[in-house]
Chain A
Amino acid sequence: MNPSQAAVAKLAGAEEDVSDLVEKARSGDHGAFEVLYRSHVGRVYALCLRIFADRSKAEDLTQQIFIRVWMKLGSFRGESSFGSWLFRVSMNVVLNELKSEEARERRTAPAEEASELVSAREVPSNLQLDLESAIAVLPRQARTIFILHEIEGFSHEEIAAALGVAIGTCKAQLSRARRLLREALERP
């Protein structure tokens, strides 16, 4: 059994408490951290892939997030669940990357991204496939706000604060996203 299989088996058994794993990882145990990674990577990767609509970027960012989490384990005090803390760290990394990307102004052709995104995912139904690909071709800010609001469940106030935009802008972009998605999904 290779280390990955062992980690999965460990995870499946669910005998090890998350806080024990965090404690072990904090003391430098890579094996414990791998278990934590495998149980949370899907959530983190989904966020990165949806926001950036670019598989290789999402993979790279996911790696960065877990490295960041590893380095910040010492500051995790257990006041919230490990999952929510990790997601908060992920959000910070993603938002920082968005800001740097905006600064670089190097958005690539959306149509290509959409096909890349669709091919990169396993989705349960055609309906969801259509929605995912339609989300992927939204303009960046509208897409980010739609994902954070409609999929991740953040409020306008939280999103506006995180992105550093006015609440009005946030609402306007969500409205734009909805209209564009509706058009895209109803197109024959």
Chain B
Amino acid sequence: MKCEQVMELMDDFLDSELPPDSCDHLQEHLAHCRSCSSTLHSFQSLKSQAASLPQTITPQRDLWPEIANRLIVADLPRQFHKFKSDQRKPNWRRAVRFWPWIAAAALCCTLCLFFSMRPGSRQRGGETAKLSNGPETGKIVPDQNKKEIPAALALPNGTWQKRVKPGMGLKPESLEYDPGYRSYFYAVSTKLDPSNHLISSRVLRFEPDGTVSSWEPALPSDMGPVYSVYPGPGGRLWLSCQTVDTRSAVFFEGNFGDDDPPKELGRLNGSFISQIAVGPQGSIYALGVRNDLLSSVRALARGQSITADIIHVLDPKSGRLNNLMPVTFEPNYAIDNWQRQLDFEMLNMPNDIRISFRSNGNFILSIPPEHSNFSGLRALAGKEAMEYSPDGQAVRKLDPGILETGACIGNIFVDIDDSLLLEVAYSDASKKPNMKSGTLAYRYFLRMNRTGALSRIGELVPTDETIVGWIGETREMVTRVNAAKQGMMEIRFRKLPI
């Protein structure tokens, strides 16, 4: 046997996989070849050294705290499946037991539907509320199972809801909670004609005793719809409007119910403001979409992205503005809806960015998932948010670690102890993520304290509710449910156990 042949067989020999006859030949060669013998010895030494390497190596840092945080998230699928099965499991035995009642109820519904469809039935009922200038009571559909809504300004504990039907084709939108008063909710309701021309634009005020008031601000004639309303300091309301030609955004300040025209604060040409937020000391932050509304809509419909700016209104009196940072909105599924029906609600324009403020004036920004770019089952974007200083400088990234596939951070609320409540929206992996159509499976909340530690709070929140605000004092999440076709809005207060 030659040295080259020995080298070829060396590995099998080391691994004890060499047939006995080859083994004999090899050992015979090794007995008189010092070079091959030395090579074998070094390989054997290497093998024994490798086998004696330590089986364990301790990480230089403790990985457990991060794992513990991630376990909170990892627990969710189990809870989700339980949640889903609890929600969907029909109780057939019970249904059979009560079938006569069910049949009677169905008959009643049919009769009601029949009579309601007869000509003149709406007028006879006299239940449809009319909204006009000044305070007026809208229609409140009483919640059968809940306690009486107290007249006191403070919101009651527990879960309750109201349904408001403003009538006259007005659809309440963009509900805002008044944190200063802890009593009112404001919504904008806009009525457009079939060509999308503005007929009326009103601000609705919901009060805890169940009344709804409306205010149609006396805006200049070149003004189109009120796009957003936000309770500002001193009980005044901040409005953002757009001009009829949609080429300018205008800020106003006014008192609810005033006949006097609201005061113009500033005007931004070449873009429209889709949302405003009033921070500490009355500073205004706004989301301004570059370009006019129709161009933006057309761009989205063509599959192009559009850009908006987070704007800090430096001086409302002079209308001095400062663009802090650009935000890009990708076209997405909602455009399909728009192509079928020219309905501004379905445009999915960027109007759901929520800016939350810390006590030091820093603001937190996250972009909800419906504005994130995704396709099919790819994980949603937006798994982190940023905290900015009042002048728009990034302070830190708010990253809860790796969320499960399909999950993303939606709204972020600041609690009274300055910790953050991160809304995590979680999609059902078998469906295309779509928060607006309700195919997102559920949401939950993570509390992030100052050190970045996470804890899961509350219960799963159904996805048909849009989260409006968080009331730290009473630990309640305020949500709204829009039933656009009926022009209805429900407001729910969901007490979250901490």
A residues with a Cβ closer than 8 A to B are 4, 28, 30, 33-34, 37-38, 41-43, 45-46, 49, 55, 58-59, 62-63, 66-67, 70-71, 120-124, 127-128, 131-132, 135, 146, 150-151, 153, 156, 171, 174-175, 178, 181-182, 185-186
Contact residues of B: prevailing secondary structure: helix
Interface residues of B in 60-90 (CB under 8 A from A): 60-64, 66-68, 70-71, 74-75, 77
Verify B50–A46 contact, CB threshold 8 A: no
Size of the chain B interface, CB-CB below 8 angstroms: 34
Chain B residue numbers with a CB within 8 Å of A122 are: 57-58
Chain B residue numbers with a CB within 8 Å of A30 are: 68, 71
Q: Which residue of B has the minimal Cβ distance to A175?
A: B11
Verify A33–B71 contact, CB threshold 8 A: yes
Verify A42–B61 contact, CB threshold 8 A: no
Verify A150–B67 contact, CB threshold 8 A: no
Report how far A146 CA is from B46 CA in the complex, Å. 11
Report how far A71 CA is from B74 CA in the complex, Å. 7
Verify A34–B68 contact, CB threshold 8 A: yes
Cβ-defined partner of B67 (8 Å) among A66, A127, A146: A66
Verify A150–B51 contact, CB threshold 8 A: yes
B residues with a Cβ closer than 8 A to A are 10-12, 14-15, 39, 42-43, 46-47, 49-64, 66-68, 70-71, 74-75, 77
Chain B residue numbers with a CB within 8 Å of A127 are: 49
Verify B59–A185 contact, CB threshold 8 A: no
Verify B56–A63 contact, CB threshold 8 A: no
Chain A residue numbers with a CB within 8 Å of B14 are: 178
Verify A28–B68 contact, CB threshold 8 A: no
Verify A120–B60 contact, CB threshold 8 A: yes
Cβ-defined partner of B55 (8 Å) among A28, A46, A128: A46
Knowing A43-B55, A59-B63, A175-B11, the reply to whether A67 touches B74 (Cβ < 8 A) is: yes
Chain B residue numbers with a CB within 8 Å of A181 are: 46
Chain A residue numbers with a CB within 8 Å of B60 are: 55, 120
Verify B67–A63 contact, CB threshold 8 A: yes
Verify A62–B59 contact, CB threshold 8 A: yes
Chain B residue numbers with a CB within 8 Å of A49 are: 57
Verify A45–B43 contact, CB threshold 8 A: no
